[in-house]
Amino acid sequence: MRGREARGAASKKTNLPEKSKLSNQDSQENSSKTVTRSSRKTSNANVLVTEDHGNGGEASNTVTEPGSSTSLSSRFKKAEKTKLSHGQNPTNSVVSTTELGQTKKRAKVSIAYEKETKRDKWEPSNWIQILHNIREMRKSADAPVDTMGCDKCMEDEGTPEILRYQTLLSLMLSSQTKDVVTHAAMGRLRKHGCTIENILKTDDKVLEDLIHPVGFKKTKVQYIKRTSAILLDKYNGDIPDTVEKLCELPGVGPKMAHLCMNCAWGVVTGIGVDTHVHRISNRLGWVPHPTKNPEETRKALEDWLPSDLWSEVNHLLVGFGQQICRPVGPHCTTCLNVEICPYALSPNTKSPRKRSPTKSPSKK
Ligand code: SF4
């Protein structure tokens, strides 16, 4: 129960991507505005210096008041502070420029800020629209992962430790196994008694029969036995609460660890990238370069995807991959992303959308 509550709590952390994007855009816009304002300040500062030497003008009304030299100094110091905070060479700063009364260095300030804006992070084009479309296609929430995912495999009631253990076990069983098979196997394990103590004293062959037809059942039984022993000895019958410690358990990798942190502890530590998320991210161009494995994809996604979407995107893409963007023969013709999906638009893709129309019998 606690795992579900935690999952729910984690899910609440997700916001609309539009909001996130808008925030990013706002941020960028504000950044641009800041640059503009900074440039103006700089420009004014230079004008002020000139006017302080007797040229007069709007700004001189401010700085030629009593204590004007102090005002100028403080303005220059402020300008210098602003400039240095962007990591620029102090010799090229506004202070040097203005104190010398030279106007030719103004352009350098402008160039420095232009460089700043060019350091923006990479992100895929159309990703907000694509995400919106996937949400639309997934709104019925009737994919196997929605009803038989690893967060649906624990008992309805039990101690938090037992529920967390069952969450971890379902994740271990789910590797290269369909959700429906994992869910059924967990049902048989629960009926048998799915506690650390009971699993440890159950014969390996009996466990293999209980989890059949889960893939790699012999190996997984060994992993489960060894992991259960470690949990009992080292973690007092609970599961570890960090990705690093979870990854030390036999048969537990980064994907499982991040999903476990989310489902069992309600903490989003990273994106759980399985084969569906890996494949779809590459098809959609959500990675800057094609990635070779789920772990590479996870790092690439976490580089640009707002963290408040990390939990949601796993669930969304897994179900999307189970129903529409399937490994073989993706249903591109019914996909809302068909007009903006790089995979569907690629001339090398033999998607239904790209196939040449079959010859009509009348056109011989
Ligand atoms: S258009 Fe095809 S390949 Fe692209 S996301 Fe949709 S189903 Fe997947």
pLDDT 10s digits, 34-69: 333 333 333 333 333 333 333 333 333 333 333 333
pLDDT bin (cut points 50, 70, 90) of residue 119 is low
Chain mean position to CA 3: 21
Tell me which CATH code domain 123-140+270-346 carries.
Answer: 1.10.1670.10
* 8 Å CB contact between 195 and 215: no
Instruction: Return the residue whose CA atom lies nearest to atom 2 of ligand 1.
Output: 332
Residue 338 CA to ligand 1 center (angstroms) comes to 6
Catalytic residue among 33, 225, 255, 292: 255
Counts for the chain of helices (H) and strands (E), in that order? 19, 0
Q: Give pLDDT, residue 183.
A: 97
**Computed from CA positions of residues 304, 22, 311, 245, in that sequence, does the dihedral angle turn out positive or negative?**
positive
Read off the DSSP letter of residue 272.
-
Each residue's pLDDT tens digit, 259-280? 999 999 999 999 999 999 999 9
Is 191 a catalytic site residue? Answer: no
pLDDT exceeds 70 at position 100: no
Please work out whether the CB of residue 337 comes within 6 Å of at least one atom of ligand 1.
yes
Give yes or no for residue 220 CB within 6 A of ligand 1: no
Work out which ligand 1 atom sits closest to the CA atom of 336: 6
- Position 348 scores a pLDDT of 82
Ligand 1 neighbour 335 (Cβ under 6 A): yes
Residue 132 confidence (pLDDT) above 70: yes
Residue 37 class from Cβ within 10 Å (0-12 exposed, 13-18 middle, 19+ buried)?
Answer: exposed
Residue 174 CA to residue 195 CA, distance in Å, equals 18
Looking at residue 222, what is its pLDDT? 98
Q: Is the CB of 223 under 6 A from ligand 1?
A: no
At how many degrees (to 10) do helices 254-265 and 160-174 cross?
150
Nearest CA to ligand 1 atom 4: 341
* 160-265 carries CATH number 3.90.850.10: no
Sign of the C-alpha dihedral computed for residues 239, 240, 246 and 249 taken in this order: negative
Average pLDDT (142-167) is: 94
- List the domain boundaries for the chain: 123-140+270-346, 160-265
Q: For residue range 70-91, list pLDDT tens digits in order.
A: 333 343 334 333 333 333 333 3
Ligand 1 neighbour 325 (Cβ under 6 A)? yes
Q: Is the pTM of this model over 0.85?
A: no
The tally of CA atoms less than 13 A away on the side-chain side of residue 311 is 23
> Is the pLDDT score of 325 beyond 90?
yes
Ligand 1: centre distance to CA 129 (Å): 13
Which is more confident, 353 or 243? 243
Please give the pLDDT value at position 59: 35
Yes or no: say if 154 and 170 are a contact pair by the CB < 8 Å rule: yes
Among 324, 328, 350, say which to mutate for ligand 1: greatest number of ligand atoms within 8 Å of CB: 324
pLDDT of residue 357: 37
Instruction: Please state the atom number of ligand 1 nearest to the C-alpha of residue 332.
Output: 2
Residue to substitute in 126, 280, 283, 284 for testing ligand 1 pocket (most ligand atoms within 8 angstroms of CB): 283
Looking at ligand 1, which residue's alpha carbon is closest to its atom 8?
325
132 Cα–ligand 1 center, Å: 14
> Ligand 1 in contact with 150 (CB < 6 A)?
no
The model's confidence at residue 4, banded by pLDDT at 50, 70 and 90, is very low
